[in-house]
Amino acid sequence: MLESLLQVIGWVLVGIGLLAMFVGSLGLIRLPDFYTRSHAASMVDTTGIILLLLGLVFLIGFSQAGLKLLVGVIFVILSNPVAIHALARAAFRAGLRPLLGEVADRKHRKLEDKE
Amino acid sequence: MVTLLTVSIVLLVGIILMPFYRVVVGPTVFDRLLAIGAMGAKIIGLIVLFGLLYDRVDMFIDIALAYAVLNFIAGIAVAKYFHKPSERRSRDA
């Protein structure tokens, strides 16, 4: 009984994680510029990976392998947003500007022309 | 169990292949790097799923952890390389 309950919880978590990863991948394809895409890749994808790995911990059971996978979950929580933040910071330093800035500038120029 | 595992592996491979569009098309080099990083992060889950499928989960988890560390270090190293403005980078190289 308990075994099958753990299995059900595990598969549900894996399913939600796959859904979140799908949304993250879709965002990586569909969103307009680098910074919005990095938002999709860091937040949604990390959520998906955490849920998938936690579901796999439930499926494996709380043995040595499950605890090792739990360490992996903690590492992914710490490392994935840090790596993407470092990349976004490097992109900003290298001169890539957010799309919103350009749009806002254009609007501002249009307003100035009208005056 | 095996059917569900196979289905989730197929779905995950599809999800991993989706950002490849961004790697091929991506207007800047940062988009490509971001997509590569996202693919690598998802491959961690894929490796553990394969471990469950082959019934050798303890070995595959070690491989997945090593993969996670390598992915992180690659991202940090590339970010450090691009941290300088491009003129100084080309002068140093």
Tokens of A8: 């059900």
Please name the residue ranges forming H helices in A31-95.
34-39, 45-60, 64-93
Four-point Cα dihedral B60, B51, A60, A45, nearest 10: 80
Q: What is the mean pLDDT of residues B17-25?
A: 91
| Residue B61 touches chain A, beta carbons under 8 Å | yes
Let me know how long chain A is: 115
Asked whether the predicted pLDDT for residue A22 surpasses 80, the reply is yes
CB atoms within 10 A of CB A66: 17
- Give B32-90 pLDDT, tens digit per residue: 999 999 999 999 999 999 999 998 888 999 999 999 999 999 989 988 888 766 665 55
Nearest CA to CA, how far is B17 from chain A (Å)? 9
- Cβ neighbours of residue A74 closer than 8 Å, sequence gap 6 or more: none
**pLDDT computed for residue A31 by the predictor:** 86
Cβ atoms of B66 and A73 within 8 Å: the answer is no
pTM (2 d.p.): 0.84
Tokens of B69: 């560390």
Q: Give whole-number Cα distances, B17 to A67, A99, B52, in Å.
A: 29, 26, 21
The residue type at A54: L
| Residue B11 touches chain A, beta carbons under 8 Å | yes
Contacts of B71 in chain A (CB under 8 A): 79, 83
Angle at A45 between CA B8 and CA A60, to 5 degrees: 45
- Give A40-77 pLDDT, tens digit per residue: 888 899 999 999 999 999 998 888 888 999 999 999 99
